[in-house]
Structure 1
Amino acid sequence: MKYAVIAPVAAGVTADGPWMAGFARHLEDCGFESIVAVEHTVLMAHYTSVYPYDPSGRVELAADCPVPDPLELLAFLAGQTRELGLATGVLVLPNHHPVVLAKRIASLDALSGGRLRLAVGMGWLREEVRACGAPFEARGRRADEQIELMRLLWQDHPDGVTFHGEFFDVDYAMCYPKPLRPIPIHIGGHTLAAARRAGRLGAGLQPLGVSGADLTRLVTAMRAAATATGRDAAALELSLGHLVTKIDAARSDRLAELGADRIVLAMPPTADLTEAKDALSACAQRLGLSR
């Protein structure tokens, strides 16, 4: 089992360089697999969109909460660590142009020594996606093109990449540096569309906050979509969520029985670095990770 930890964005500390450097180094020292950076390009002072992961329909982050760009944050943390995995969870794909994003991702992977893993989502905040210039209703079809085009740009093409889709047009494009290895793209989300996209195009599914019959339905849909497109369904990873302060070996085993390959752990929203480190150390000890 692999254990990732989400940077505690709700604590308002993820734009604090010394705090995050100490947090990431402690994660690495404890034996966790990776650190996960979330994304909101903008948060809105007023919005009508419904946040799907809380019964209130409202996101827990205040509109003025500092949420640094995830790739910039991970680049900073790459320089503070030696081998800690660097992950997004999730990067809001419709907020980005795939040509520019492909360059940023490949650069970070090359400079960090091949440590990057992507989890991407379609975004729930209509107002944010529109502010970034993308059509909200078409973000799924657009995402399929984005993933395809980025993967083409990461490959070697002697005459460059030519791509003509519904949303993007590229002729003879050469994009260097290349990632050190194929970038795993996991699909985040709680919908059947997300599960099917993971099966068709992804390296795995990250349906945080989903359990029971709903989780079974998503995993079944992912694997069926993979099989239908000639992909190896057994090779796809499943990342499930839990809490740093609650997870233990028994709970981890139960998630493994559900098919989890990775557990993505949320931190309590503390701005006290010593308190955060103590929680991570206790978690690592319960899981038998401590070095």
Structure 2
Amino acid sequence: MDFAVMTPAETGKTSDPQWIGEYARHAEACGFESIVVVEHAVVVSRYASTYPYDVSGKMGLADTCPIPDPLDLLAYLAGQTTTLGLATGVLVLPNHHPVPLAKRAATVDRLSNGRLRLCIGVGWMREEIEACGTDFETRGRRVDESIQVMRALWEDTSDEGVTFDGMFFRFANALSYPKPVQSGGVPIHIGGHSKAAARRAGRFGDGLQPLGIVGDELRSAVALMREEAERAGRDPSALGLSLGHLVAKINRERAESLAALGADRVVLAPSGTADLAEAKDELSACAERLGLTAPALR
């Protein structure tokens, strides 16, 4: 099982190059598989949308918290590390046009030697998505099509280029280079809590990262993903499952219980301290409990 660690976005330190660079290097040295960054293109003050992962209906980030662009941040962290995986969790795909996004993702993957993973979602903040120019009600269909666009651009190597004629995106004879290092393109995992997210993972994704669901609801989502993959003629056993836990509370026993649910990756949320020494100590203690080893020693 792999263990990923999220950046402590709520501290505002992810835009501090010295702080976040050292945090990422320490995560790599501890043996974590990847580092995961969040996204909000904008936060609309006094938003009316309901955050689905807290009973308050509000996210745990201040409206003015600095949230760097996820791919730009990962490109920076690629230069600060050598083996650490680079992941979004979650990139709000309706905020982006898939053609330039495909180029940006391929560039980060190429320059990091194949370390990028995208975890995407449809987004929950109507005000943010509409500020980015997308109709909130059609965002799910737009996400499905965006995934197809990016994969087509990554996979095509013909002299003529790829042609796409969809509901939201249309182009002809488009060539997008460089290509990602990873065979099949950058892995795309689907984040979310809905049945639609599970179905999307089965039809189009490389895996599922369920958010805010446990127990029977979680098992049903995983089963739905695998059933949808079979209906689409895809291999359900090839799809990954990333489950969440806390850096401060995870241990081998809890990790084994997540593995029993089918998880091949655990994405760990840190406590959110802005003190770098404390944040690094928390990662070190977690790595020791889990028996992780530095990349060179694996």
- Tell me the equivalent position of 2:264: 261
Alignment of 1:72-221 (within 5 A): 72-155=72-155, 156-181=157-182, 182-221=185-224
Give yes or no for contact 1:24–1:80 (8 Å, CA) kept in 2.
yes
1:247 alignment partner, one of 241, 245, 250? 250
Q: 1:290 Cα shift?
A: 3.7
Q: 1:163 Cα shift?
A: 0.5
Give the Cα–Cα distance (whole angstroms) in 2 for the partners of residues 191 and 99 of structure 1.
26
Partner amino acid, structure 2, of 1:36: V
Give the Cα–Cα distance (whole angstroms) in 1 for the partners of residues 158 and 191 of structure 2.
29
Q: 1:161 Cα shift?
A: 1.1
Q: 1:145 Cα shift?
A: 0.8
3-state DSSP class of the match of 1:123?
coil
- Tell me the equivalent position of 2:48: 48
Give yes or no for contact 1:51–1:124 (8 Å, CA) kept in 2.
yes
Unmatched 5+ residue regions in structure 1? Answer: none
Partner amino acid, structure 1, of 2:255: S
- Tell me the equivalent position of 1:277: 280
Could you state the TM-score of these two structures normalised by the residue count of structure 2? 0.97
Per-residue CA deviations over 1:81-138 (Å, capped at 9, x if unaligned) read 0110000001000000000100000000001100000100000000000000011100
Give yes or no for contact 1:6–1:265 (8 Å, CA) kept in 2.
yes
Give the Cα–Cα distance (whole angstroms) in 2 for the partners of residues 99 and 16 of structure 1.
29
- Tell me the equivalent position of 1:227: 230
Q: 1:44 Cα shift?
A: 1.5
Give yes or no for contact 1:114–1:180 (8 Å, CA) kept in 2.
yes
Give the Cα–Cα distance (whole angstroms) in 2 for the partners of residues 157 and 6 of structure 1.
38
Give the Cα–Cα distance (whole angstroms) in 1 for the partners of residues 67 and 186 of structure 2.
24
Give the Cα–Cα distance (whole angstroms) in 2 for the partners of residues 12 and 20 of structure 1.
10
Give yes or no for contact 1:281–1:290 (8 Å, CA) kept in 2.
no
Partner amino acid, structure 2, of 1:167: F
3-state DSSP class of the match of 1:49?
coil
Give the Cα–Cα distance (whole angstroms) in 2 for the partners of residues 185 and 233 of structure 1.
15
3-state DSSP class of the match of 1:79?
helix
Q: 1:183 Cα shift?
A: 1.1
Give yes or no for contact 1:39–1:67 (8 Å, CA) kept in 2.
yes
1:288 alignment partner, one of 288, 291, 298? 291
3-state DSSP class of the match of 2:53?
coil
Give the Cα–Cα distance (whole angstroms) in 1 for the partners of residues 138 and 227 of structure 2.
24
Give the Cα–Cα distance (whole angstroms) in 1 for the partners of residues 159 and 71 of structure 2.
28
Partner amino acid, structure 1, of 2:74: L
Give the Cα–Cα distance (whole angstroms) in 1 for the partners of residues 69 and 52 of structure 2.
22
Per-residue CA deviations over 1:237-281 (Å, capped at 9, x if unaligned) read 000000000000000000000111100000111110000000000
3-state DSSP class of the match of 1:14?
helix
Partner amino acid, structure 1, of 2:15: A
Structure 1 outlier segments of 4+, above 6 Å: none
Give the Cα–Cα distance (whole angstroms) in 2 for the partners of residues 200 and 157 of structure 1.
25
Give the Cα–Cα distance (whole angstroms) in 1 for the partners of residues 220 and 126 of structure 2.
26
Q: 1:158 Cα shift?
A: 2.0
Could you state the TM-score of these two structures normalised by the residue count of structure 1? 0.99
Aligned length: 291
